[in-house]
Amino acid sequence: MGCALLPGCMGGLDVFSDSKVDTVRTSAVPAGAEGLTDEITVRNAVSSADISRTAGNPIPWANSASGSAGVISTIAENRDDAGRTCRDFVTTKHSYQGIANYSGRTCLGSSGEWLLLAFDRQG
């Protein structure tokens, strides 16, 4: 009813034409790449978090390449046996396969890059 009262409401849409869509292009994440890109996304969120400012508040993350997202609920910074700065974390992952919990660990390497050492699905 609202559209009937508004002239031009369907401007540019010719529902009675014979035109059709000839080609539909889609994109997919290559097999095996989804997990890797999600791991990198989580690693980047954990390593760049200012844990003095987050004060234990959850940190959301999202990966537009895979469509996955989640919330990092815990980050604990410590030193490993080699003296490297490390961060242990707990996160959720919401993906097309469902919702899962993960725990992991990332440590600062000698080159200054954060290395993801563990990203393990829980239960």
- Annotated domain spans of the chain: 29-122
Confidence of residue 68 (pLDDT cuts 50, 70, 90): very high
pLDDT of residue 11: 46
pTM check: above 0.95: no
Q: With a cut of 60, say whether residue 21 has pLDDT above it.
A: no
pLDDT of residue 35: 52
CA distance 46 to 61: 9
Query: Going by C-beta distance under 8 Å and a sequence separation of 6 or more, which residues neighbour residue 10?
Result: 3
